Amino acid sequence: MDTQEVIRRLSSKTIEEQLAVLRNLLSEAPSPEVYPLLLANLTSQDDSVVFLSLDILVKKYPHAVHQDAVLLTPQLVALLTTNHGPIVDRAIWGLSITGPDSVRILIEYILQSTDDNHLEMGIWALGKNAHIRQYPALVVDTVRAQLSNINPQIRNAALNALMGMCPLRPFHRLDAESYNFEPVYGELQVVAQDFLELETTREGKEWLGRYLELLDNRNKL
């Protein structure tokens, strides 16, 4: 399929035709002419169109996404609250691609948020950002403050984000030299234990149990 045909189909008013060409683009080389249409699709009312367009952007056009960080970052942040898991995942990925400034933008988003859903998703996105090593204290302190939030979903997001970035996990997001997690570990233990006592699912209990095991045995590692 030549570029002009791709452009014609992407501009179609038929969602099925748009989706068909988007699926094909996943296996095609990137094209400068197609890129603007993928950006425009991020405002589509169809979740599948948004997801596939964003999936192509982060996989095929990372350099362009980075170059257009100022334009794209607000759109990616807005996509965090779509309540569509795959879109949220790619938006988080895209924010990392835009560069280190995404860390400060997410922190500002968290600090200024007056909506619990926005706050929760901001925490998840910050916890998974690829550039947190550049601002370790700012990142940890921002998320740590939410461990005492009245909303259990926000506390849960903060718990998972901090556990994901701490040196006890194998991901090496932050090391002991970047930030002294020892004072944070005690707070994480309290929150994890509180959740464990209320958890009713086997999977949830096992997950929290692993957290507590890591925290309890941290000085033996």
Q: How many domains does the chain have?
A: 2
Q: Which of 40, 64, 99 is the last residue of a domain?
A: 99
Does residue 13 carry a pLDDT above 90? no
Please report whether residue 169 resides in a domain. yes
Average pLDDT over residues 13-37: 92
**Boundaries of domain holding 126:** 119-221
Nearest-angstrom CA–CA distance, 193 and 208? 8
Q: Which two tokens stand for residue 11?
A: 């501009």
Q: What is the pTM of this model?
A: 0.93
* Residues 91, 22 within the same domain: yes
80 and 8 within one domain: yes
Residues 43 and 140 in one domain: no
Share of the chain above pLDDT 90, in %: 86
Residues 151 and 193 reside in one and the same domain: yes
**Concatenated DSSP letters for the chain?**
--HHHHHHHHT-S-HHHHHHHHHHHTTS---TTTHHHHHHGGG-S-HHHHHHHHHHHHHH-HHHHHHTHHHHHHHHHHHTTSS-HHHHHHHHHHHHHH-THHHHHHHHHHHH--SHHHHHHHHHHHHT-TTGGGSHHHHHHHHHGGGG-SSHHHHHHHHHHHHHHSTTSTT-SS-TTT---HHHHHHHHHHHHHHHHH--SHHHHHHHHHHHHHHHTGGG-
The pLDDT confidence band at residue 2, using thresholds 50, 70 and 90, is confident
pLDDT digits (tens, 9 = 90+) for 144-168: 999 999 999 999 999 999 999 999 9
129 within domain boundaries: yes
* 162 belongs to a structural domain: yes
Question: Does one domain contain both 15 and 75?
Answer: yes
56 and 130 belong to one structural domain: no
Q: What pLDDT score was predicted for residue 221?
A: 58
